[in-house]
Amino acid sequence: MRPILIQFGAVTVPTHDTLVLLGVVVAALVFRHEARRLGAWGDERVLWIVVGTLAGGAVGAKLATVWRYVAATGDASAVGILVRGGRSVLGGLAGAYVGAVLTKGVVGYRRRTGDLFAPAVALGMAVGRVGCLLTEPPGTPTTLPWGMRLTPGEAAAIAGCPAWCVGSALHPSFAYEILFHLAAFAALWWWLRPRPHVEGDLFKQYLLAYAVFRFGVEFVRGNEVVWLGLTRSQLFLIPSGALLAAYFARRRALPVTA
């Protein structure tokens, strides 16, 4: 575990935020490549869509974390909300999607943009999740040979690390996520992207795949179980995944574009 990436005297560079920022930079580079390839880079409205997407993602990530905090503690005071740190990946993805849709409506951009965002988000998420791997509780205890073991010092450096963090091999749940996002990027970049598909659907395919994966990995994340053996993330993923699956079920009869 490495919560501090670099330290210069009293100045520290946090690992998590640095890798999240690096993930955003990587995603931006991939997005620019795809926008140029698909002839969308010269349109100023696309840049505004990116701004709206980032703003929506930031708001969604924070709102989801605040909701989870209030639901768990009952503290809805302004102080409790303001001091609550952290960001939710699921909230960020949902907020980014809403932000992109709203911004497209405002600027009058009619072309679908999901194909621009899908590989960019997948690779950016893989990089950002390295920060989570190095700074957050890994997962539940496991007997699998690749389980992570934390020293007492490492466990103490992780905020909210449960008692099982010391003395047990733990599921490296964020490593699972990194592998998923790398595999998703590879599938999008070398397999799905060149194949005929409905314009804009690559991002929805990525979201559906991530919803299924994340629902499963939640069982070894160690997050709070709130109802029927499920976490809050899983309760969010059930209707979200169902909506995406229904979308593709309706899409099957539509013609595709090259």
Question: Does residue 192 belong to any structural domain of this protein?
Answer: yes
d(CA 29, CA 26): 5
pLDDT band at 234 (very low <50, low <70, confident <90, very high): very high
pLDDT band at 24 (very low <50, low <70, confident <90, very high): very high
Question: Does residue 92 belong to any structural domain of this protein?
Answer: no
d(CA 56, CA 100): 8
Percent of residues, the chain, with pLDDT higher than 70: 90
d(CA 253, CA 236): 28
- Is residue 52 over pLDDT 60? yes
| Residue 251: partners with Cβ closer than 8 Å, 6 or more residues away | 198, 201
Selection from 175, 200, 173 nearest residue 38 by Cα: 200
The total domain count for the chain is 1
Q: Which domain holds residue 187?
A: 4-40+111-247
Per-residue model confidence (pLDDT) at position 76: 60
Question: Does residue 224 belong to any structural domain of this protein?
Answer: yes
Q: Mean of the per-residue pLDDT values for the chain?
A: 87
- Whether the pTM exceeds 0.85: the reply is yes
Question: Does residue 207 belong to any structural domain of this protein?
Answer: yes
Question: Does residue 65 belong to any structural domain of this protein?
Answer: no
The more confidently predicted of residues 176 and 15 is 176
Question: Does residue 122 belong to any structural domain of this protein?
Answer: yes
Average confidence (pLDDT) over 47-53:
94
- Is residue 81 over pLDDT 60? no
Question: Does residue 76 belong to any structural domain of this protein?
Answer: no
> Each residue of 100-143: pLDDT tens digit?
999 999 999 999 999 999 999 999 999 999 999 988 888 999 99
